[in-house]
Amino acid sequence: MPDLYIDGSWRGALDERTREIRCPADGSRVGVVDEAGGKDTVEAIAAARRAFDEGPWPTTAAADRGDLLLRVADLLVRDKDALARAESLDTGKRLVESEYDIDDIANCFRYFGRQATAETGRVVETGTPSVDSRVVYEPVGVCALITPWNYPLLQTAWKVAPALAAGNTFVLKPSELTPHTAIHLMRLLEEAGVPPGVANLVLGAGPEAGAPLADHPDVDLVSFTGGLATGRALMAAAAGTVKKVALELGGKNPNIVFADADFETAVDMALTAVFLHSGQVCSAGARLLVEDGLHDRFVDEIVRRASRIRLGGPFDERAQTGPLISAAHRAKVEAYVARGLAEGAVLRCGGERPTGPGLDDGFYYPPTVLDECSGDMSVVREESFGPVLTVERFSGEAEAVRLANDTIYGLAGAVFSTDEAKAQRVAARLRIGTVWINDYHPYVPQAEWGGFKQSGSGRELGPSGLAEYRETKHIWRNTDPSPQGWFG
Ligand code: NAD
């Protein structure tokens, strides 16, 4: 069955190219999918344009759009097992994590299904009785939705659900490394009754299948989640046609632990913060900032527990985390560690490819702790996106804030302290989009997600997540017109 979904039909690539997908956990073949080129993407854009300009979707009642999203949520729950399995095979992540993700994804569709009718406009008081003035929200138009490989279907859901709720049409381009759950989602959208041309899927490499999405005049909005360098390039390409651009980029997220933190909780959360999904999480707490007095005891315990984390494939029930996505990505992580050591960091654990049964054919890299780091090291400044924790010391509140904010990124981070007032003060001064206090990683679809500084230029989830996909229009109606212009 062909894998590109364009104008309500499934088809292969115009030049018949395909790509083989292999599981990062053991190199086994997951499948072969159609690989779009630029011409396929241009066709998908044309279909989305027609569906927006002529089709029923943008003017379908918001309640009906919302109902459709609720049906998709039910279908996601129905197909949870197959979706979770496909996600794990593409990414190598543990099945239990994928199952958790599918629940989140269904919740996201439910949230935006309900949000579709939450706010549809407002009346504006003009002071003139003969004027009826309203502000209404309308869809932006054709949306290009470009997503990464780390949480493939979750990142896709965060874009597809609000885009549809607001009445847009779209072309989705997921990461070329992890296409299978996007294909499945399109089948569910079709089953739920999304009209032809509203939802389009192209698979393939960024520079080929993705590039037209950023500069094509028929695309109105680009919503991108991925790396900083790609985000910068897309923003520049989109400038030619002044598209709306929503970027969710990387992070180098500080996890600040004060000496008065609850020790067991802070250790436990610091491990989760950085080693979940082997560090391939945009909000990973990869920079540990520990207050001087606590440093030695805290880092010793982190190292003791990090060294025991069990690696394994998606279906190994004893595994605690999985492989990296690709050989190239592992090489990048290794290079960051090597550079950090050359710059003076002290290796406390990890740092060498693991070997042994079940590990030799996958792209595994162990939880790694680099101690005695400083803010000028590349491994501290740049996103390695792997299981690498850098440790810096600080003394007092002001230095914690200064070190934490000394980065071009501003996505997320945490503060651990039993002093409630201090934790709140520090949280208020962090230049980041999400701050957790005495916790790490939880999120809810009702809240906002997005970055300060170079972590992004948009918001996802929450009411602002929907607002990204809406234009705001003011309609002024003179209910008692008469000739009274300036030149009468
Ligand atoms: P990436 O930038 O390499 O690729 C992301 C997507 O962009 C892929 O679909 C890719 O094919 C596409 N792409 C690449 N070049 C393109 C081009 N010229 N035109 C159009 N599309 C193009 O990122 P990645 O390696 O897939 O993902 C990891 C990155 O994503 C990390 O930096 C991580 O922090 C970030 N991320 C951010 C968030 C967030 O919410 N802020 C969430 C998840 C991941």
Nearest CA to ligand 1 atom 32: 227
The percent of residues above 90 in pLDDT, for the chain, comes to 98
Mean pLDDT of 33-43: 98
Task: Give per-residue pLDDT as tens, 342-393.
Answer: 999 999 999 999 999 999 999 999 999 999 999 999 999 999 999 999 999 9
Please give the distance, rounded to the nearest whole angstrom, from the Cα atom of residue 318 to the centre of ligand 1: 30
Question: Does the structure show a pLDDT above 80 at 34?
Answer: yes
Question: Does the structure show a pLDDT above 80 at 143?
Answer: yes
- 312 — phi, psi (to 5°)? 180, 175
Please give the distance, rounded to the nearest whole angstrom, from the Cα atom of residue 450 to the centre of ligand 1: 15
Please give the distance, rounded to the nearest whole angstrom, from the Cα atom of residue 174 to the centre of ligand 1: 9
The answer to whether residue 248 is catalytic is yes
* Mutation choice for ligand 1 from 150, 277, 281, 432, CB with most ligand atoms inside 8 A: 150
Question: Does the structure show a pLDDT above 90 at 488?
Answer: no
Task: Give per-residue pLDDT as tens, 79-106.
Answer: 999 999 999 999 999 999 999 999 999 9
Ligand 1: atom nearest CA of 460 is 40
* Mutation choice for ligand 1 from 225, 232, 277, 452, CB with most ligand atoms inside 8 A: 225
Ligand 1: atom nearest CA of 248 is 41
Question: Does the structure show a pLDDT above 90 at 224?
Answer: yes
Output the pLDDT for position 188: 98
Output the pLDDT for position 377: 98
Nearest CA to ligand 1 atom 39: 248
Please give the distance, rounded to the nearest whole angstrom, from the Cα atom of residue 249 to the centre of ligand 1: 7
Find out whether 412 and 427 touch, Cβ atoms under 8 Å: no
Output the pLDDT for position 32: 98
The answer to whether residue 448 is catalytic is no
Question: Does the structure show a pLDDT above 90 at 120?
Answer: no
Return the closest-CA partner of residue 400 out of 376, 424, 429.
429
Three-state DSSP state, 123: strand
Q: For residue 251, give both structure tokens.
A: 């992070």
Please give the distance, rounded to the nearest whole angstrom, from the Cα atom of residue 177 to the centre of ligand 1: 11
Question: Does the structure show a pLDDT above 80 at 425?
Answer: yes
Mean pLDDT of 447-465: 96
Which residue of the set 282, 383, 392, 468 is catalytic? 282
Beta-bridged to residue 347, according to DSSP, are 370
* Mutation choice for ligand 1 from 101, 149, 230, CB with most ligand atoms inside 8 A: 230
Ligand 1: atom nearest CA of 211 is 19
Question: Does the structure show a pLDDT above 90 at 434?
Answer: yes
Q: Cα–chain-centroid distance for residue 392?
A: 27
Q: Cα–chain-centroid distance for residue 337?
A: 25
Return the closest-CA partner of residue 391 out of 364, 368, 416, 366.
368
Task: Give per-residue pLDDT as tens, 459-483.
Answer: 999 999 999 999 999 999 999 999 9
- 192 — phi, psi (to 5°)? -75, -10
Q: Amino acid identity of 132?
A: D
Three-state DSSP state, 443: coil
Task: Give per-residue pLDDT as tens, 306-322.
Answer: 999 999 999 999 999 99
119 band by pLDDT with thresholds 50, 70 and 90? confident
- Burial of 488 (C-beta count, 10 Å sphere; 0-12/13-18/19+): exposed
Ligand 1: atom nearest CA of 149 is 26
Task: Give per-residue pLDDT as tens, 388-408.
Answer: 999 999 999 999 999 999 999
1 band by pLDDT with thresholds 50, 70 and 90? confident
Output the pLDDT for position 432: 98
284 band by pLDDT with thresholds 50, 70 and 90? very high
Please give the distance, rounded to the nearest whole angstrom, from the Cα atom of residue 254 to the centre of ligand 1: 21
Q: Amino acid identity of 282?
A: C
Please give the distance, rounded to the nearest whole angstrom, from the Cα atom of residue 227 to the centre of ligand 1: 4
* Mutation choice for ligand 1 from 41, 175, 459, CB with most ligand atoms inside 8 A: 175
In DSSP notation, 359-380 reads: TTTTT----EEEES--TTSHHH
Task: Give per-residue pLDDT as tens, 48-74.
Answer: 999 999 999 999 999 999 999 999 999
Ligand 1: atom nearest CA of 411 is 41
- Which residues line the pocket of ligand 1, CB cutoff 6 A? 146-150, 155, 173-176, 205-207, 210-211, 213-214, 225-227, 230, 233-234, 248-251, 282, 383, 385, 411, 451, 456
Q: What is the mean pLDDT of the chain?
A: 97
User: Angle at which helices 263-275 and 295-306 pack, to 10 degrees?
Assistant: 50
Beta sheet of 131-139, edge-to-edge order: 121-123, 131-139, 470-478
Range with lowest mean pLDDT among 120-134, 163-177, 218-232, 383-397: 120-134
485 band by pLDDT with thresholds 50, 70 and 90? confident
Task: Give per-residue pLDDT as tens, 171-220.
Answer: 999 999 999 999 999 999 999 999 999 999 999 999 999 999 999 999 99
